[in-house]
Structure 1
């Protein structure tokens, strides 16, 4: 059976698109809602996140930890944030090659913002059989598409909870709050 190269899900968040974008496009904040990502550090210099910005993401799955190198490929405030993952390693991202692309679309709706998160498997050169074996080892029995479908749902639920809670309390979120996020370990 051929593998699935893209999965996506959406949720409505009672926050304006520009505000949701501001949080999602900050690599340091991703660890607040992602079940695998622990946050990221911009490596291409200070300033606003824009197309071409490079950042390293810290990740975990169970006891395993790794770092990825990512480059922002679209940064349209209030509309679209996308980055591609193109290097990976344990302490630093030394192994280069196409890994994945993550995309977040922000659509204004009467209730706030419809956020759509999409994962695309960029390992196109891998034969399906090889990818299938690797995926089941790396995800404890799942394909990456099935695994990421679950991660996306968790990320979106956590994002909604964190941003709406901040909006209800009138607090500016700083990245320092405790989220009690769900994990898929």
Structure 2
């Protein structure tokens, strides 16, 4: 068996300013506007902008399945980088704790706008590959999580380009 892919990343050029993109993407309550699975979030202690340590509960849906995740912001560098780790999951409340994933968005100025890179890291390093492979195929309808997330990232970035790259 081939070891599973633990990181997936893709980039897209969006005709917008890095700081403007960061401000929108770093607001977890808006993620549902471009993510194929996320339906938004509830921020534990709302503030004007994201900060390291900020916690939020993500509301997610895939087909008929619905679940929540508890996340903590790990990087909040305006116009440069936004990242968070997912460390709990559950149906109505994220009560099952453990390392799940890390998500990161990088913003690099480029001619014509900003190159936005979205990266997913699988934090389930303690899971044997064979167990992860079976679990992944069940919850993603036959795919590995890396392949599944590759598709999600692709859709998310195109949605960001369409929504945030459009003239105001």
Query: How many angstroms apart in 2 are the aligned matches of 1:24 and 1:80?
Result: 10
- Asked if 1:155 is matched to 2:163, the reply is no
Two-structure CA RMSD over aligned residues (Å): 0.5
Q: Which residue of 2 aligns with 1:23?
A: 24
Listed as ranges, the matches of 1:25-174 within 5 Å are 25-43=26-44, 45-47=45-47, 48-165=49-166, 168=167, 170=168
State the TM-score, normalized to the length of structure 1.
0.89
Unpaired stretches in structure 2, ≥5 consecutive residues: none
Partner secondary structure for residue 145 of structure 1: helix
Which stretch shifts more, 3-12 or 45-54?
45-54
What is the alpha-carbon distance in structure 2 between the residues aligned to residue 109 and residue 54 of structure 1? 31
SS, match of residue 150 in structure 1: helix
1:46 aligned counterpart, secondary structure: coil
- Which consecutive residues of structure 1, in runs of 5 or more, have no partner in the other structure? 171-185
Secondary structure of 1:162's counterpart equals helix
Normalising by the residue count of structure 2, what TM-score does the alignment of the two structures yield? 0.98
Number of residue pairs matched by the alignment? 166
1:141-173 alpha-carbon deviations (Å, 9 max, x no partner) = 0000000001000000000100122xx2x2xxx
CA distances 1:80-101 after superposition (whole Å, capped 9, x unpaired): 0000000000000000000000
Give 1:46 shift: 2.4
SS at match of 1:72: strand
Task: For residue 165 of structure 2, give the secondary structure of its aligned residue in structure 1.
Answer: helix
Q: Distance in 1 between matches of 2:113 and 2:32?
A: 23
